[in-house]
Structure 1
Amino acid sequence: MNSTQRQIAIIGGGLSGICSAYFLAAKGYEVAVIERRAHVAEEATFGDAGLLAPGAAMPLTLPGAMATFACRFRDEPRVLLAPGADFGRRRWMRATRQAQHHHFAQNKLRLTRLSAYGQSLVLQLQAHHNLDNENGQGVFHLFRHPSEAARMTHLQQAAQECEFKHQALDAAGIRALEPAFSSEATLSGALYYPEDMAGNCVLFAKQMRNAAQELGVSFHFDSTVTAIDAEFGGRLALSVNSPHLASQMRVDAVVVAAGMSSAELLRPLDTALPLRAVQSYSALVPVKNPDDAPSMALYDDSYKVAMTRLGGRIRISGLLGFVPPGQTLPPKALRNLLKIAGDYYPNAANYNQAHFWSNTMALLPHGLPVVGPTRHGNVFVNVGHGATGWAASVGSARLLADLVSGDQTEIAAEGLLPRDVLA
C-alpha cells in the first residue's frame, strides 16, 4: 500500500465509485464515498443496460455526418438532437468520428480486454460474497446497416485475441438458438457471444455497497463536493455541502467518479477532460408470453439499444440523446425503444405497460472510460463507462486500486489513462 495516501475520498456513489471504494478498502485504505443523491446507483448506473458483455462491448460510435443530421427529422431517429446550433456538440461528434475512423480496432480491443477483466471480477465477487443475481447467458450483437456490419471483422479479431467464443449468424441462425426471435428488421449481420452475459447491474451495485461497508468504507449521502484544492504538504482539501459533514474535508487522495460533475471538479486542477453529457433512455415492460420472450440478451448496434430479460420483466435500454435532461421524456425516444423491441420480439411483452426513465451519462469522444492519476499525483479519475459499461466499470475500479497503491496492474492501462485523452 502507498503509505502516503492512507485516507481516500471517492466522489460519486455509482458503480465505479462503489467498486473503487471496495478494491481500495481491500488493500487497507481508509475510504469514504461522498454522493450527492440519497442512495447509491441513482444516476448513470441506474440507466445501465445490464450487459455484462466483453464481446459485445463497443466504443461509442455515431452515425455518419449526414445520418446524424437527418436524425433530427426522422420519426425513428437513431440519435436525438436538440434544435439549434451547438458548436461544442459538433466538435465532440467530429472527434468521435475521427476515433471511429482511425482507432476503432485498437479501442475495441482495449475495451474488450477491460470488460473481460471486469466480467471475471464480477463473477468472482458474486461467488465470494454469495450475491443474489439475475444473470443470463449469451448475447446477440445485431447490425442493421452494411456500414456497421463492416466492423464485424474488427470485432471478431478482438474476440479472437482475447480468446472469446463468438459466431457469425444470420436471422435463421439466431432463431435456431433463440426460437422466440422474430425479426421484422432487415439485418446486415449478427454476432453471437455465448460467454457474454446480462443481468441486474443496479442490484449488483447495491450489494457491492454492502460488501464495501463490511470492509470499513463509509458512505455519505446528500453531500456534494464543490471544489478540490491542493494544500501545501501534499494533502487535499475538499469543499463539501452536506447536512452531516464538515464544510472542509482533508484527505490524502481523492478519486473523482462523479459523471459530468467530474469535469467541473477537475478543470481547476489543470485536467480538462472532454466529457459530454448524453441522455440514455430505458423502459421496463412485463413479460406477456414467456414462450415469445427472449432468454438471451441482444444489442442493436444501429440504435445503441439493448434488450435484457430480468425474470418476468424485459429491460430495453439505449438510444443517445444530445438534449438537455428534463422531466418530460421525448416522445420519439419512448416510441423508438418500444418499436425496436417489437422488431425482434413483438409478442413477448405488454409494451403498452412500459415504465420509462432517462439518465445522464458522461462520455468521452473515443468511447472508452478514463481511469488513473491526473497531473496531480494524488487526484485520480474513474469515469466515462457509458450505458453498457458494467463490466468495464468493475475492471476500471480494480485497475484504479492497483494504480493508487503502486501495485502491478493485471491488465495494461495504456489508452485508458487521463494523459491519453486530456483536451
Structure 2
Amino acid sequence: MPQQTTETKTDSVTNNNTHRQIAVIGGGLSGICTAYFLAAKGFEVAVLERRANVAEEATFGNSGLLAPGSAMPLTLPGRFATFRCRFQDEPRVLLRSGIDMARNRWMRGTRKAQQQEFAANKLRLTRLSAYGQMLTRHLQEHHALEHENSDGVIHLFRHAADAARIPQLLEAAQQSELKHKAVDAEAIRLLEPAFASGAALAGAIHYPQDQAGNCVLFAKQMRLAAQELGVVFHFGCTVKSLQPEFGGRVALEVEAPQFESSRLMVDGVVVAAGLQSANLLRPLGTVLPLHALESYSALVPIKNPDDAPNAALVDEAYKVAMTRIGNRIRISGLLGFVSPSKTPPPKALRNLLKIAGDYYPNAANYNQAHFWSNSMALTPSGMPLLGPTLQGNVYVNVGHGASGWAASVGSSALVAEMLAGEEPAFDPEGLLLQHMPVAK
C-alpha cells in the first residue's frame, strides 16, 4: 500500500479499498501496537495522532517496567491518609485543594475495587501482562529491535497495610506460573549488593523474570515495524467526533491540514487516546470511567556504577519505580490529583529523589536530575479497558497506567484478535467495557 505523508492531500484515510479500513486514534504504545497487530492480520490501518510524533504523552511517562509479577491494580492509601497528603512534606498522593466531586466519585470506585475485586483483578492483570511480555520479547527478537532491558524486579512494601496483600500477589504469581520469592532486606542485598536502605520494610517480593527497559524506544521502533506492514501515521491530526453510519461504516470528523475533507470514512475504529477517548465516546452513549492523574518522573546520570541498581525496584507505598537504563536511572511514579503542569510540584521532585536516595544513595548525581510530568487516564480499579463499545465496529483500548507496558501490548493483541473475529488468546473477562462498573 502506498504510504501517505502528512503533506499528502486525500479524502480517505488510505488508498486501497480492497481490505477493511481501520482508524486507530492515538499514537501512544497502545495505538501503535494495535495498528501493528491489525496490519499483521491483513487490515488496512491508519493511526491518527494529534501530536507531531508517537509516544509524546502518557507513553513518554511510562515507568519502563515490563513486569507481569509486579504489575498491580491501582491501590491508594486509605481516605484519611490520602487527604492528609496535602499537608505532608513527603506525600504519597498529591491532591489539589478544594472539593472535587468527580474525583471523590472515582475514588469511591477505587476503594470498592480494592476491597472487593483486588485478588481477581491482580490475577487478570498478571496474566494479561505475562501475555504482553511474551509478545514484546518476540517482537524485539523478530524485528531485531534495540533495547535496554534489565532482568529482575524487587517489589518493596514499607507499610503493613500494603504488605497484607503479599499472599494474594504470591497466589497470582503461582497461578500464572511466574517465578517469585518473598525476600527480606538481607536477601535483597544478596540480589542487589548496592541496596543500602536501612529503613524497615514490611515485606518484599523478588520476580526474577520481570524486566525493565526503555518503553519509549520500543514504541518508536514499533512505529517503524508497523509502517513496514503498511500502517500509515497521520500526525497533527485531531479527531473531533465519531459518527456511526448506515452500512456499518464510521465517519470521523477531523481537524488536520493534510486532509482536503474534514470527514473520513472507515470500516472500524479503535480509540486509544487516553482521556480524549472518553470525550469521543460519550456522545455515542458509551461512558468510560476514566480520571486524569498526573505522574512524575526523573532521569539521573549514574555516578558510581557499582552503587547503582541492576534490577528494577518498585516502592509500593509511593507508587514509584526505579529502573536502570544504560548509564542512567529513571525514577517514575507518584500520583497526583492536580492540574497538569510542565513544571512538577516541588513536593513531587523532593519525593522522587528522596525515595531513590533511600535505597541507592551513592548511585547517581541526583542534583543533575531532569524532571517531567505527564497525564494519564486511569479506571477506578487501575485495570485496562478494552474491546467493543455499544457500536460493534468501534473499539477501545485505554487505561494501562504508568507501569502498563506489558499490559498495553497484550491488550492491543487482544483487540486485534477481536476485530478479526478470532478467539482471543485468553478470556478477557473483567477487562471488557461491559464488565467495567462506573463509580457513582
The AA in structure 2 aligned to 1:76 is E
Q: How many residues of Structure 1 are paired with residues of Structure 2 in the alignment? A: 421
Matched, 1:290 2:290: no
1:358 Cα shift? Answer: 0.4
Alpha-carbon distance in 1 for matches of 2:437, 2:190 = 46
8 A Cα contact 1:373 1:379, kept in partner = yes
State the alpha-carbon separation in 2 of the partners of residues 185 and 121 from structure 1: 37
Corresponding letter in the other structure for 2:51: R
Kept in 2, the 8 Å contact 1:285–1:314? The answer is: yes
The residue number in structure 2 matching 1:187 is: 201
Which amino acid letter does the alignment assign opposite residue 313 of structure 1?
A: R
Give the counterpart letter for 2:89 in structure 1. D
TM-score, L = length of structure 1: 0.98
**2:96 is aligned with 1:82:** yes
Q: One-letter code of the match for 1:135?
A: N
Is residue 24–residue 271 contact of structure 2 (8 Å, CA) maintained in 1?
yes
Q: Work out which of the residue numbers 370, 380, 398 in structure 2 matches 1:355.
A: 370
CA distance in 1, matches of 2:107, 2:423: 35
Inter-partner Cα distance in structure 2 for 1:328 and 1:396: 32
Q: What is the match of residue 370 of structure 1? A: 385
- Which residue is equivalent to 1:404? 419
Are residue 346 (structure 1) and residue 361 (structure 2) matched? yes
Residues 132-159 of structure 1: per-residue CA shift (max 9 Å, x gap)? 0000000000000000000000000000
Tell me the alpha carbon deviations over residues 313-358 of structure 1, each in whole angstroms, 9 at most, x when there is no partner. Answer: 0000000010010232200000000000000000000000000000
Other-structure match for 1:116: 130
Aligned residue in 1 for 2:3? none
Q: Which residue of 2 aligns with 1:390?
A: 405
Q: CA RMSD in A?
A: 1.1
Matched letter for residue 129 of structure 1: H
Q: How many Å apart are 1:422 and its aligned residue?
A: 5.1
**Whole-angstrom CA distance in 2 between matches of 1:68 and 1:235:** 46
Offset of residue 421 of structure 1: 1.2
* Other-structure match for 1:264: 279
Q: Quote the Cα distance in structure 2 between the aligned partners of 1:377 and 1:239.
A: 19
Cα distance in 2, alignment partners of residues 217 and 420 from structure 1: 31
Q: Which residue of 2 aligns with 1:302?
A: 317
State the secondary structure of the residue aligned to 1:412. Answer: coil
The TM-score, its normalising length taken from structure 2, stands at 0.95
Q: Cα distance 1:4–1:232, how it changes in 2: closer, same or farther (>3 A)? A: farther
1:97-112 superposed matches below 5 A: 97-112=111-126
Where do 5+ consecutive residues of structure 1 fail to align?
none
Call closer, same or farther: CA 1:358–1:389 in 2, change over 3 Å. same
Question: Are 1:175 and 2:194 matched, yes or no?
Answer: no
Query: Could you tell me which residue of structure 1 aligns to residue 231 of structure 2?
Result: 217
**1:8 maps to what in 2?**
22
2:236 matched to 1:237? no
How far apart in 2 are the matches of 1:311 and 1:102? 41
Rounded to whole Å, the distance in 2 between the matches of 1:383 and 1:9 is 15
Matching residue of 1:228: 242
Deviation at 1:232, TM superposition (A): 1.6
Give the corresponding residue for 1:248: 263
The alignment status of 1:19 with 2:33, answered yes or no, reads yes
Deviation string 1:11-31 (CA, Å, 9 cap, x unpaired) is: 000000000000000000000
Shift of 1:4: 11
Aligned partners of 1:186 and 1:44: how far apart in 2?
33
- Between the aligned partners of 1:169 and 1:269, the Cα distance in structure 2 is 49
Partner of 2:7: none
Shift of residue 267, structure 1, vs aligned partner: 0.2
Partner of 1:140: 154
Runs of 4+ deviating beyond 4 Å: none
Q: In the alignment, what sits opposite 2:4?
A: none
Contact 1:298 1:306 in 2 (8 A): yes
Indicate the SS of the match to 1:380. strand
- Answer whether contact 2:343 2:373 (CA < 8 A) is retained: no
Counterpart amino acid of residue 202 in structure 2: S
In structure 2, how many angstroms separate the alpha carbons of the residues matched to 1:12 and 1:422? 24
Q: Distance in 2 between matches of 1:341 and 1:411?
A: 37
Which string of whole-angstrom CA distances, capped at 9 and with x for unpartnered residues, describes residues 139-182 of structure 1?
00000000000000000000000000001011111001100000
CA contact (8 A) 2:25 2:270 kept: yes
Letter in 2 for 1:401: A
* SS of 1:190 mapped into structure 2: strand
Task: Please give the alpha-carbon distance, in whole angstroms, between the structure 2 residues aligned to 1:73 and 1:120.
Answer: 43
Conservation of the 8 A alpha-carbon contact between 2:322 and 2:356:
yes
User: SS at 1:72's partner residue?
Assistant: helix
1:24-43 CA deviation, whole Å, 9 max, x = no partner? 00000000000000000000
After TM superposition, list the pairs within 5 Å mapping 1:200-211 onto structure 2: 200-211=214-225
Aligned-partner SS, 2:287: coil
Q: Secondary structure at the match of 1:80?
A: strand
What's the counterpart of residue 348 of structure 2? 333
Contact persistence 1:273–1:422 (CA under 8 A): no
Corresponding residue of 1:273:
288
Superposed CA deviations along residues 31-73 of structure 1, whole A, max 9, x for unmatched, are 0000000000000000000000000000011000111011111
Match 1:66 to one of 80, 86, 91:
80
Report the residue type matching 1:177 in the other structure.
Answer: L
Cα distance in structure 2, aligned partners of 1:218 and 1:185: 51
CA displacement at 1:382 relative to structure 2: 0.1
- Deviation by residue 1:164-217 (Cα, 9 ceiling, x = unmatched): 000101111100110000013221000000000000000000000000000000
2:54 equivalent to 1:40: yes
Partner amino acid for 1:343? D
Q: Residue 271 and residue 227 in structure 1: after superposition, are their counterparts in 2 closer, same or farther (change >3 A)?
A: same
* Counterpart position of 1:421: 436
Residues of 2 paired with 1:5 and 1:152: CA distance? Answer: 49
